[in-house]
Structure 1
Amino acid sequence: MSRSLLYRQLHLCLQSHSPKSKRFVLALSGGIDSRVLLDVMAEYLTLHPDHQCDAVHVHHGLNVHANEWAEKCYLWAKAVGIQCYVERVTLMKDSGDSLEQLARDARYQVLAKHIKRGDVLLTAQHADDQVETLLLALKRGSGPAGLAAMPVSTSFANGHHVRPLLQISRVDVEAYAEQKNLDWVEDDSNQDTRFDRNFLRHQITPLLVQRWPGLRKAVARSAALCGEQEALLDELLADKLALATAVDGSLALSEHTQERLGKALIRQWLQRQGVAMPSCAQLEQVWHSVVLAQQDANPQLNWQQHQIRRYQQRLYLVQQWPDIQDVQLPITCSVPCELPQGLGRVTLMPSKHGQLRLPQNDEIISVRFNPEGINVKPVGRVGKRKLKKLFQEYGVPSWNRRRTPLVYYGDQLVAVAGLFVVDGFAGQECELTWHNPLSD
């Protein structure tokens, strides 16, 4: 029995890019592309019974039919012997990012949880999607990294992400669905040409393909060549990036670094941290307004949910967090106090070799984060100083000064976690520890 074009492509792709993998996770939105991939993957499993595939449907809650779509995906997967997991997500719509980007980020975060070591994530992007992605990259003014568009295979979470239909056209996907008499969900938002990708899909790409039928293959070649150039650049700059990157993940650049080299290192540095690339204009700002800023300046660039900051001639990638200066958390001795925003936990433990005295019965222990207007004298120092100046002396970057736990007995500051004990509160009865995973 002859196999379909899509099956042959799937088989070839998996043999080429994941020959040793035996567990797959299929992202199942319910649209025609992923619905077809589900059907093709089910055929693959019948011929490879030692392989396993789960499907994951991400429920964004953005459409009135979202519950119905989730149910259909579950039933379609069940009908071909594939377990489907429905994952619900809530999008932070006031974050400043586009709804498309928020949904995409949430989707991949959920999918990553299902990938165990050596597993393969399968998504159903095809050749027409690749054309749209490259055109969007051109619109943004992207360089080789952006113009490489979507690779067939890339590292993802604990395994790999493979797009087995990337050489297949939308026409072939639709023909397969009709031949197999498949049904799928239709998201009405896919017709809304206010979204850039939909505008390209419905009004631009069809005209381009009609004029140049070989466009899809040409785009695939161009994207592959850009990907090769970017990979070569990564290899050539790997040693320089390693030398410039500190243990804490910061990047050492100065006004003496050649601009073209510096920008390339910044792009690679950001890419390795898994964040979206800044635009060319934003990269110009990073260079001229952050790297080349005056020595006494406190420069930064904000984009998406991150900031690029400079401190002591090093660049830091900082996540933008809501202000917590008014947060006040109670502490009980021997019980870890969980801090907000991933800052870890603070623990005050009775000890014979600690740094603090025990609190008295009427002294309520708390953690606060507002250093404003505080003058203290650390143990062993002469005279009081403003906490702001002490943070500078101890090398705490400005963006962490309102995120460093301040431990109080009553209304008296007794210690700054990880830095010092305040004079008058020293002792050996308590040990203060701060486990901060963000600095590990």
Structure 2
Amino acid sequence: MAQSPEQALAAFSPGLPFVVAYSGGADSTALLLACAQRWPGQVRAVHIHHGLQAAADEFERHCQALCQQMKVPLAVRRVQAGNAPGQSPEDAARKARYSALAEAVNTEWPEVRDIALAQHADDQVETLLIALSRGAGLPGLASMPAHWQRLGLHWHRPLLAVPGAVLRQWLTTQGQAWIEDPSNTCTQFTRNRIRAQVLPALAEALPAFRDTFARSAGHAAQAQEVLNEVAEQDLALIGVPPRIAALQLLSRPRQALVLRHWLRIQHATTPSTAQLHELLDQVAACTTRGHRLHLKVGQGFVRREGACLLWHAS
């Protein structure tokens, strides 16, 4: 069942003080205001100035004015994220944003260990639909986690059960204005097309879709946790770097699982489905010492060196 901001925050227990990532849009404004009301004097804010559009300076001024009014300390960081070959601009911007948030927290308030982000129920549905459209596996279908650790910090999404419309309605009752990002209406982006065209149709055909989709994402996340445990156990058996002979003793699905895990955990890269299938075929063909292996995998290459597989960046 859809929650109100107050209900969502009742189940949120961050370490105090904590930081809210604040863009100036409706979602982060609702999160910042609700958190400041629930934990007065314990909230800090970080605004990321991307410089991607002319309105970015206006966003910053709006955020500074509201934080000054609410007596919430604000740090601003400017980022210019360039995407690497094979990386989407959105992914590059997201990574740059997380790095800038972590840097701001560690520099301005080193005692803070928790950061709250404002993604909500509609964002979760959009993420799931995008994953389905790309043929994603369980990690993609699990969508966005409510809590995780990264860069030495605890990250939280306390509003994942709150629809975006509810956040805007709540802000209106509070008499609080927000900034509308002009890029939110640009249908060039898949997420915006889903928001404008797909979600209204789902609401009419399947009124409870936010709850049921969230439940499916939760099931996928739980199943992925089990697979991660299996992959960790298999990686301990085949070693790091992976020994080819030990890898060949596993079934092909478990080889795929442990290789994805190795590449993600050890090298922060993810193979495409085609790359992984080719790697598995080459592993199966490694029956002689002279068999060479050198394949493009993720953002680098996997090669055979003696009895093991090694990965190196492009």
Q: TM-score, normalised by structure 2?
A: 0.88
User: Which residue matches 2:172?
Assistant: 178
The aligned counterpart of 2:11 is: 12
Rg (Cα) greater in structure = 1
Q: Is contact 1:26–1:55 with CA below 8 Å preserved after alignment?
A: yes
Deviations 1:108-154 (A, max 9, x none): 11122225587111100111111111111111111112111111111
Instruction: Give identity over the alignment, percent.
Output: 33
Q: Give 2:68's aligned residue.
A: 78
1:58 corresponds to which of 48, 52, 68: 48
1:22-421 superposed matches below 5 A: 22-46=16-40, 52-93=42-83, 95-113=85-103, 114=105, 119-246=113-240, 250-254=241-245, 256-257=248-249, 258-273=251-266, 275=268, 277-289=270-282, 292=285, 295-303=290-298, 305-320=299-314
Task: Indicate conservation of the 8 Å contact 2:294/2:301, yes or no.
Answer: no
Between 1:309-318 and 1:100-109, the stretch displaced more is 309-318
| Residue of structure 2 equivalent to 1:420 | none
SS in 2 for 1:186: coil
Contact between 2:19 and 2:112, CA under 8 Å: does it hold in 1?
no
Helix, strand or coil at the partner of 2:309: strand
* Equivalent-residue separation in structure 1 for 2:161 and 2:146 (angstroms): 9
The SS at the match of 2:175 is: coil
Go from structure 1 to structure 2 and tell me whether the alpha carbon gap of 1:238 and 1:84 turns closer, same or farther (over 3 Å shift): same
> Which range moves more in the overlay, 99-108 or 284-293?
284-293
Given that 2:248 and 2:283 are in contact with CA atoms closer than 8 Å, whether structure 1 keeps it comes out as no
Cα displacement (A) at 1:65: 1.4
**Does the 8 Å contact 1:74/1:84 carry over to 2?**
yes
- Root-mean-square deviation (CA), in Å? 2.4
Distance verdict in 2 for CA 1:44–1:265, change over 3 Å: same
Displacement of 1:223 in angstroms is 0.7
TM-score (norm 1): 0.64
Match of 1:429 in 2: none
| CA deviations over 1:338-380 (Å, ceiling 9, x no partner) | xxxxxxxxxxxxxxxxxxxxxxxxxxxxxxxxxxxxxxxxxxx
Q: Distance in 1 between matches of 2:297 and 2:82?
A: 18
Deviation at 1:273, TM superposition (A): 4.1
Taking the aligned partners of 1:274 and 1:201, their CA distance within structure 2 comes to 34
Instruction: Count how many residue pairs are aligned between Structure 1 and Structure 2.
Output: 304
Question: Match of 1:271, as an amino acid?
Answer: R
Supply the distance in 2 between the matched residues of 1:98 and 1:185 (Cα, whole angstroms): 26
Distance 1:277 1:208, change over 3 A: farther
Output the amino acid matched with 1:259: R
Contact 2:242/2:309 (<8 A) preserved: yes
Greater per-residue strand proportion: 1
In the alignment, structure 2 segments of 5+ residues that lack a partner are none
1:317 CA drift (Å): 3.8
Structure-2 change in CA distance of 1:145 and 1:309 (3 Å): same
Distance 1:121 1:252, change over 3 A: farther
CA distance in 2, matches of 1:217, 1:207: 16
**Residues 269-321 of structure 1 deviation map (CA, whole Å, 9 limit, x = unaligned):** 23324735333333223323577468443412143x4444443343334333x
Q: Which runs of 5+ in 1 are unaligned?
A: 321-440
Structure 1 position 237, deviation (Å)? 3.4
How far apart, CA to CA, are the structure 2 residues paired with 1:117 and 1:272? 28
Deviation, 1:212, is 0.5
Counterpart residue identity of residue 275, structure 1: A
